Amino acid sequence: AQSVTQPDIHITVSEGASLELRCNYSYGATPYLFWYVQSPGQGLQLLLKYFSGDTLVQGIKGFEAEFKRSQSSFNLRKPSVHWSDAAEYFCAVAYGQNFVFGPGTRLSVLP
């Protein structure tokens, strides 16, 4: 069965520091991969997606993610974190029109 793991439940970084959030998936075929962000009391907002082609994808708010087939990973990165990036981040894999979400990583940002 398809699954998504996000090994880090909670990450704390200082403002201006770099960030990497990990995501691993289990899926037999070529996956469609997504990162969403959720601020408190809000729905999920799409940050970026990977369908095919270049394995490094750029998203909104300065985020990027790299697909590594050999490691079944799709890690999210940002070179310099802003206080407004504090939120919950979800990785998801899609097969057809079915989406499976990871448990999320909560990001805290220190001033």
Structure tokens at 92: 């998801």
Contacts of 67 (CB under 8 A, 6+ apart): 33, 50, 55, 56, 57, 73, 74
User: Least Å distance between CB 44 and another protein?
Assistant: 4
Of the two residues 27 and 99, which places its CB atom closer to another protein in the complex?
99
Scanning residues 88 to 107, which ones bind another protein (CB under 8 A)?
90, 92, 94, 97-99, 101-104
Q: Which of 49, 72, 86, 95 binds another protein (CB under 8 A)?
A: 49
How many C-beta neighbours within 10 Å does residue 31 have? Answer: 22
- By C-beta, is 19 or 44 nearer to another protein? 44
